[in-house]
Structure 1
Amino acid sequence: MADKEQGKEQKTKSKECCGYPLSIFFIVVNEFCERFSYYGMRTVLVLYFRYFLRWDDDLATTIYHTFVALCYLTPILGAIIADSWLGKFKTIVYLSIVYTIGQAVMAVSAIHDITDENHDGTPDNMTLHVALSMVGLLLIAFGTGGIKPCVAAFGGDQFEDHQEKQRSTFFSIFYLSINAGSLLSTVITPILRAQECGINSQQKCYPLAFGVPAALMAVALLVFILGSSMYVKAAPKGNIMLEVCKCIGFAIKNRFKHRSSSYPKREHWMDWAEEKYDKLLIAQVKMVVKVLFLYIPLPMFWALFDQQGSRWTLQATTMNGNFGFFTVQPDQMQTVNPILILAMVPVVDNLIYPLIKKCGLNFTPLKKMTAGMFLAALAFVAAALVQIQIDQTLPSFPSASEAQVKLLNLENSTLSISLNGQSEEIPAFQSYGYTTLNTDKMELSFGNQSQSYDLLKGDRQTLLLTATRVEAWSEDSNTKPEQGSNDIRFVNGYGSELNVKSGSKNIGNVGRFKFSNYTQFPEGTTTFIISGLAAGELCQYSINLGFGSSYTLFIPSTFKFGNECASTIKQIEDIKPNTIHMAWQIPQYFLMTCGEVVFSVTGLEFSYSQAPKNMKSVLQAGWLLTTAMGNIIVLIVAEVGQLPEQWAEYVLFASLLLCVCIIFSGMAHYYTYIDPSEIEEQFSEYDPDDKNRKQLEMNTDAVHASDNEKTNPNEIKQTKI
């Protein structure tokens, strides 16, 4: 029945244009939109966890890498569904629907207004947002992972045997669409996230940052379905991965069954499967197992590589993203990787490798992979050095047993005070502090008067002083402003109430000797309009803001409305802006990208060259599994390590990868390269009635990644898994 269906489906040939099936246009557009959707959502994901759901860095990193791990575990399930039951076309359609729903749920989960009953920009029912987010991510992981092994192979199915050249070109275009979708989404979605939106209150626009990828996924699904009548749809014929797993399982079971018997020893443990499976299949499984054994150390590389989207993005939030002509958002730094990959692949292929060859060095594939691991470790050393520099610029906030106090002089003359017995002078309209005190009491003296004040331990406080007393005090910000924003507040030392606003943000009325609340503003020039009680009393004041700073803008008693009003306003720095530039992340991205080029690209080429023709899918599944396991390693280290300093965690990961690098180099030294075709020729004669052999031949055509073997190395190098 399956054979009949296949014959019927194969007769429905796609229309051609310039020798290419017209159907591949729909597949390429589908892949571009899907990759835009996936990478766009993933780019802003860790910041969504950190700043919308209000998780700490460790939990945000943990959930992020759990999601990525699931995305690389589900391809195995998708391949089994496609090859065993539904076929590639139906699998792509059904799982794309699941995928689209997941993206839509993520967009809805980020709408803060649905639970913001107080209209203050803070979701009231965070449980609902978390629940929707987790449901959305599970659907996305199942959808993107499930279709991952199907789309490229389905595109290859559209070509006939005599169109090998066109098929090769298709894969180049296909992988180019992957990188184009990834690059564009990594640039665009951070811009969308940085916008402010909302019905009742203005917040970072995560609904838009998730909504656009959701719309692109819907477009991807629609485009793919529109080409349905043109596709060549091969019927499912059985999954070679299941066959391999059964063969391995039988060999292990049979070996333990006869471990204490008088059976003669066999040369290889897989030979214990000879009672049920033919020798060709066993020989092919041996080749696959040999490569899979080399995969064991590889997850450690991916544990470092995938932190570009988590730890490195969080690191960028504490840096200065002003590049002069443009401003880079923290999550946009991830674009450095795809840009460098497109630049580095031809350089490495056409310059570095030939140069090494001319020097007479035998730079084998496994040696290249070892070098890639070493470069990734160096990238994390570079990240640790950058983190040390960042930590030195961060303010020192009070511990749980300390209090920090800043004193602001409201008088137009120098104020002499005694703070806990220590005499200080504060110039007119200036501040003194922050002073760290290891007590919850503060003794403050003004001339002959002395007063005791209660302090809040673990907090920063600012006190407004006149010549005789403390007029007011406030709790200050105890953390760096989030996402590179700047906290601004006003203090009114003027004789009457003032109103302050900036654009659509109304800071509100500020009474005499009162503080306004902190309001967040982005990097750049911000202009405030200060108005008084009388008509025509207006003052325009501008401040140039960096990233992550906090300022108190003090309006003194000498303030007068008019052209010179702005010059009298005092700018008091509570928290310094970020001073380490994001450009310092480029070396670590460069090292990591170089490591990816010589590790990932070479690993794919090596795996394909060392595997039998009909078992490329098995190694593809194994390769994706190493990525999933790498993300699981991040979870373990993030939860178990609990290192107090982020730079120490970077060093830990670098050290672990160096140890794995040494182990892998030892494994590579003893590895013997093989030619699978020569080994398969030794088993070329077989019984034509052998059921296992027939099943093997049937499975050969069903391998979901088998068409990839027809691409050349340069095509594989462009892919972003």
Structure 2
Amino acid sequence: MNPEKADAMADKEQGRTKKSKSKVDCCGYPLSIFFIVVNEFCERFSYYGMRAVLVLYFRYFLRWDDDLATTIYHTFVALCYLTPILGAIVADSWLGKFKTIVYLSIVYTIGQVVMAVGAIHDITDTNQDGTPDNMTFHVSLSMVGLFLIAVGTGGIKPCVAAFGGDQFEDHQEKQRSTFFSIFYLSINAGSLLSTIITPILRAQECGINSQQKCYPLAFGVPAALMAVALIVFIAGSSMYTKAAPKHNVMLQVCKCIGFAIKNRFKHRSSAYPKREHWMDWANEKYDKLLIAQVKMVLKVLFLYIPLPMFWALFDQQGSRWTLQATTMNGDFGGFVVQPDQMQTVNPILILVMVPIVDSVVYPLIKKCGLNFTPLKRMTVGMFLAGLAFVAAALVQIQIDDTLPKFPSHSEAQVKFLNMENNPLSVSVDGTPFDIQAFQSSGNYLNLNTETATVAMNGSEFMLSLIKGRRQTVLLDSTGILESRQDLNAKPEQGNNDIRFVNGFGTVLNVTGAKDLGAITPKNFSDYGLVPQGKATFTILNGEGQTCNYSITLGFGSSYTLIIPSIFSFGPDCWTTIQQVEDIKPNTIHMAWQIPQYFLMTVGEVVFSVTGLEFSYSQAPSNMKSVLQAGWLFTVAVGNIIVLIVAEAGQLPEQWAEYVLFASLLVCVCIIFSIMAYFYTYIDPAEIEAKFTEQNPEDKEEKKKGLELGNMSSLAAEKPEQTKQTKI
């Protein structure tokens, strides 16, 4: 039954016939829907924009490791898909949809603002490892903000679409259908634009007293959009049709199931005859139509049991796959793609693949005489998601082969730099090698001791080492000049770490792409993070002479630039500066992620859209909301699975975790296919009609008890209206 018709019938049953209020129309459509569509666009921009950069915020601002960042990310997403159930109950049983949207949007906006404020810190209050000094403050604000956002976005999720449907009269069925198409287009538009724009905002440099990645701006713009969404929605208040809250079918279903279980255990002795179905134990209190409807719902919910595994893989696009992209090359020639922008591949492919699958693939399969039932489609979608993770594992293996081999906890790595204008013959613990002028010894030496003996020109020097660390040692003909610890990980977020070594005779200042400050002779500067592209440094001496040096950088590299003793200021001063590559740039291109995104998106189209249509077709007329709630619940459970695996699995290699998830989904896919094989498709309307004919005297009572409680805020969509939907 149409939700709006159910509302009207419920009002009549309660003696409050709904009055058609005078509305302002535009081209046959209520003007009020404009405010609802704009509200939804801004809200989805706010949510997906914030979520796009969230895992990188955890990883690089709060300095959590990959596993903790993934765990908290998926905990947040899970909460976002648990709260819609509460939002629907509050809207339908207490506040009504309008007040629920307004109140929870206020909570939502506050949460976004708290997130933006929590990302602000003064660089002067930063520890040596880059973490804010008052980390507890930032973590606390971030967690409070995320909780408020989860309550807000989840709470209004089931209400907005149904509230839009409430604005139409019964004779405006065609306009209502068009509204839902525009509504879901606004969802995808908000999602697509935000996942393009907020990573760009994050990549900007801003901050107090120093430049840093601009997470306050990346969170602040979504906060502003959410405030706009709230203001626009309230602005249309006088034009809205506001249905009064009614009883909730979700609660009635739960009570019916609870009574059946209680009654079954109460009469578990052999003296009571067995019943055909365990729900039949509710016959003493509830009518047969309700029980038959609950049976249909439970039959579908049983099929939902394996589904969370699909979402466990699907939602890792925003966590593990984004972290994978940080170790890849994002230069596409004419433009550079940020790691978190790769998530835009999914909504773009959705817009392309949905019409292709519906208009080409399914008709072609039908022409081939194959019975491609909804459950078979869902099985194929799950299998494609598993293949996507196999593709991700293959990409990860290629990435791992290009990553530097950092020292284990039991060994130290050391490399030598020759500051002489002549080759040096050096021996370390009896192993001889030559170092060319102003060059390094090549690859790092792996040593399993805490000291090493360095011999050169007939003299021996003791070198202290730190296990688990890399270090570079400056040498000249007189011996060891200086030793400095090197990076022990790839530079963050695809940036490059640059440092200079001053082999010149006087103090030099290095500014430009990064201000590295004054460098004393025979010494190192600190590392400076520099983004991809052409970087120019200005070398300045005490007499005001300058030399400009440029270097073109890729992603994730580290260089030591040697200013040699033969360096002199002049037009060609840059030619004598030597490059030493400490860490190679990322060589695996982000384009290699496109196949895994393609497989996952096709899997989503085949699985998600079909699953929503299947749920709608197999649900009783007044209980479609229950299955919609169950569907959202599978998304939440899927994210819980990810955080369990991330914390409990602790696999040493990321590719192995991808293979684990793919294997789990394939196993679940097999189980689901067996369950689907034994599933018998039903016609809910036919079953309901049979019970109505058998008990015509109960017709009005059933309408009052069931249709009145229809949770319309989760059941506004028709099957054709679920396509291109981002849930």
Is the pair's TM-score, using the shorter chain for normalization, greater than 0.5?
yes
Q: Over residues 276-326 of structure 1, what are the superposed CA-to-partner deviations in whole Å (9 max), with x where a residue is unaligned?
A: 111111111111111000000000000000000000000000000000000
1:419-458 alignment to 2 at 5 Å?
419-432=428-441, 433-458=443-468
Displacement of 1:688 in angstroms is 4.8
Secondary structure at 1:463's aligned position in 2? strand
Secondary structure at 2:580's aligned position in 1? strand
Match of 1:59 in 2: 68
Whether 1:104 and 2:113 are equivalent positions in the alignment is yes
Rounded Cα–Cα distance in structure 1 between residues aligned with 2:313 and 2:326: 19
Match of 2:132 in 1: 123
Match of 2:549 in 1: 541
Rounded Cα–Cα distance in structure 2 between residues aligned with 1:554 and 1:243: 76
Q: Over residues 408-445 of structure 1, what are the superposed CA-to-partner deviations in whole Å (9 max), with x where a residue is unaligned?
A: 11110111111111111111111104111111111111
Q: Which amino acid aligns with 2:725?
A: T
Is the alpha carbon distance of 1:71 and 1:118 closer, same or farther for their aligned partners in structure 2, counting shifts above 3 Å?
Answer: closer
Rounded Cα–Cα distance in structure 1 between residues aligned with 2:15 and 2:229: 26
Displacement of 1:557 in angstroms is 0.8
Is the alpha carbon distance of 1:365 and 1:8 closer, same or farther for their aligned partners in structure 2, counting shifts above 3 Å?
Answer: closer
Secondary structure at 2:655's aligned position in 1? helix
Secondary structure at 1:461's aligned position in 2? strand
Match of 2:621 in 1: 613
Whether 1:650 and 2:658 are equivalent positions in the alignment is yes
1:449-488 alignment to 2 at 5 Å?
449-488=459-498
Rounded Cα–Cα distance in structure 2 between residues aligned with 1:428 and 1:444: 18
Rounded Cα–Cα distance in structure 2 between residues aligned with 1:578 and 1:382: 19
CA contact (8 A) 1:382 1:587 kept: yes
Rounded Cα–Cα distance in structure 2 between residues aligned with 1:318 and 1:338: 23
CA contact (8 A) 2:249 2:710 kept: no
Displacement of 1:11 in angstroms is 3.9
Q: Which amino acid aligns with 1:635?
A: L
Q: Over residues 222-252 of structure 1, what are the superposed CA-to-partner deviations in whole Å (9 max), with x where a residue is unaligned?
A: 0000000000000011111111111111111
Is the alpha carbon distance of 1:9 and 1:26 closer, same or farther for their aligned partners in structure 2, counting shifts above 3 Å?
Answer: farther
Query: Which region of structure 1 is more displaced relative to structure 2, 492-501 or 164-173?
Result: 492-501
CA contact (8 A) 2:123 2:210 kept: no
1:39-58 alignment to 2 at 5 Å?
39-58=48-67
CA contact (8 A) 1:24 1:158 kept: yes
Q: Which amino acid aligns with 2:461?
A: Q
Q: Which amino acid aligns with 2:119?
A: A
CA contact (8 A) 1:559 1:568 kept: yes
2:686 counterpart (678, 685, 689): 678
1:592 counterpart (600, 604, 618): 600
Secondary structure at 2:523's aligned position in 1? coil
Rounded Cα–Cα distance in structure 2 between residues aligned with 1:702 and 1:646: 42
Rounded Cα–Cα distance in structure 2 between residues aligned with 1:13 and 1:367: 48
Secondary structure at 1:530's aligned position in 2? strand
**Percent identical:** 76
Match of 1:218 in 2: 227
Is the alpha carbon distance of 1:176 and 1:387 closer, same or farther for their aligned partners in structure 2, counting shifts above 3 Å?
Answer: same
Displacement of 1:122 in angstroms is 4.1
1:168-183 alignment to 2 at 5 Å?
168-183=177-192
CA contact (8 A) 2:628 2:715 kept: no
Displacement of 1:9 in angstroms is 7.0
Match of 2:154 in 1: 145
Q: Which amino acid aligns with 2:630?
A: G
Match of 2:330 in 1: 321
Rounded Cα–Cα distance in structure 1 between residues aligned with 2:707 and 2:349: 42
Structure 1: gaps (5+ residues): none
Match of 1:719 in 2: 725
Q: Which amino acid aligns with 1:437?
A: L
Q: Over residues 182-241 of structure 1, what are the superposed CA-to-partner deviations in whole Å (9 max), with x where a residue is unaligned?
A: 000000000000001112121100000000000000000000000000000000111111
Q: Which amino acid aligns with 2:682?
A: I
Q: Which amino acid aligns with 2:507?
A: E
2:97 counterpart (67, 88, 105): 88
Rounded Cα–Cα distance in structure 1 between residues aligned with 2:366 and 2:711: 39
Whether 1:628 and 2:636 are equivalent positions in the alignment is yes
Q: Over residues 383-427 of structure 1, what are the superposed CA-to-partner deviations in whole Å (9 max), with x where a residue is unaligned?
A: 000000000000011111111111111110111111111111111
Displacement of 1:695 in angstroms is 2.8
Rounded Cα–Cα distance in structure 1 between residues aligned with 2:336 and 2:416: 35
CA contact (8 A) 1:554 1:570 kept: yes
Q: Over residues 527-569 of structure 1, what are the superposed CA-to-partner deviations in whole Å (9 max), with x where a residue is unaligned?
A: 001111113x110100000000000010001111111111110
Rounded Cα–Cα distance in structure 2 between residues aligned with 1:157 and 1:452: 81
Q: Which amino acid aligns with 1:523?
A: Q
Displacement of 1:275 in angstroms is 0.8
Q: Over residues 79-108 of structure 1, what are the superposed CA-to-partner deviations in whole Å (9 max), with x where a residue is unaligned?
A: 000000000000000000000000000001
Query: Which region of structure 1 is more displaced relative to structure 2, 537-546 or 256-265?
Result: 256-265
Rounded Cα–Cα distance in structure 2 between residues aligned with 1:118 and 1:655: 42
Match of 2:4 in 1: none
Displacement of 1:681 in angstroms is 0.5
Rounded Cα–Cα distance in structure 2 between residues aligned with 1:410 and 1:114: 34
Q: Over residues 51-104 of structure 1, what are the superposed CA-to-partner deviations in whole Å (9 max), with x where a residue is unaligned?
A: 000000000000000000000000000000000000000000000000000000
Secondary structure at 1:552's aligned position in 2? strand
Moved over 3 A (4+): 2-13, 117-122, 685-692
Displacement of 1:121 in angstroms is 6.2
Secondary structure at 1:708's aligned position in 2? coil
Please, what is the CA RMSD of the aligned residues?
Answer: 1.7
Q: Which amino acid aligns with 1:172?
A: S
Displacement of 1:118 in angstroms is 7.8
Match of 2:392 in 1: 383
Match of 1:661 in 2: 669
1:133 counterpart (139, 142, 146): 142
CA contact (8 A) 1:398 1:404 kept: yes
Rounded Cα–Cα distance in structure 2 between residues aligned with 1:131 and 1:114: 19
Rounded Cα–Cα distance in structure 1 between residues aligned with 2:526 and 2:639: 41
Match of 1:553 in 2: 561
Q: How many residues align?
A: 715
Q: Which amino acid aligns with 1:720?
A: K
Is the alpha carbon distance of 1:527 and 1:115 closer, same or farther for their aligned partners in structure 2, counting shifts above 3 Å?
Answer: closer
Displacement of 1:594 in angstroms is 0.6
Secondary structure at 2:582's aligned position in 1? strand
Displacement of 1:665 in angstroms is 0.3
Rounded Cα–Cα distance in structure 1 between residues aligned with 2:438 and 2:539: 19
Rounded Cα–Cα distance in structure 2 between residues aligned with 1:250 and 1:147: 31
CA contact (8 A) 2:89 2:248 kept: yes
Query: Which region of structure 1 is more displaced relative to structure 2, 452-461 or 21-30?
Result: 452-461
Rounded Cα–Cα distance in structure 1 between residues aligned with 2:128 and 2:266: 69
Q: Which amino acid aligns with 1:506?
A: D
Q: Over residues 347-383 of structure 1, what are the superposed CA-to-partner deviations in whole Å (9 max), with x where a residue is unaligned?
A: 1111111111111111100000000000000000000
Match of 1:522 in 2: 531
Is the alpha carbon distance of 1:698 and 1:374 closer, same or farther for their aligned partners in structure 2, counting shifts above 3 Å?
Answer: closer
Query: Which region of structure 1 is more displaced relative to structure 2, 362-371 or 684-693?
Result: 684-693
Rounded Cα–Cα distance in structure 2 between residues aligned with 1:9 and 1:486: 65
Rounded Cα–Cα distance in structure 1 between residues aligned with 2:22 and 2:562: 75
Displacement of 1:678 in angstroms is 0.5
Length-normalised TM-score, structure 2? 0.96
Match of 2:5 in 1: none
Is the alpha carbon distance of 1:283 and 1:689 closer, same or farther for their aligned partners in structure 2, counting shifts above 3 Å?
Answer: closer
Match of 2:583 in 1: 575
Whether 1:241 and 2:247 are equivalent positions in the alignment is no
Q: Which amino acid aligns with 1:637?
A: V
Displacement of 1:14 in angstroms is 2.8
1:334-413 alignment to 2 at 5 Å?
334-413=343-422
Structure 2: gaps (5+ residues): 1-9
Query: Which region of structure 1 is more displaced relative to structure 2, 66-75 or 255-264?
Result: 255-264
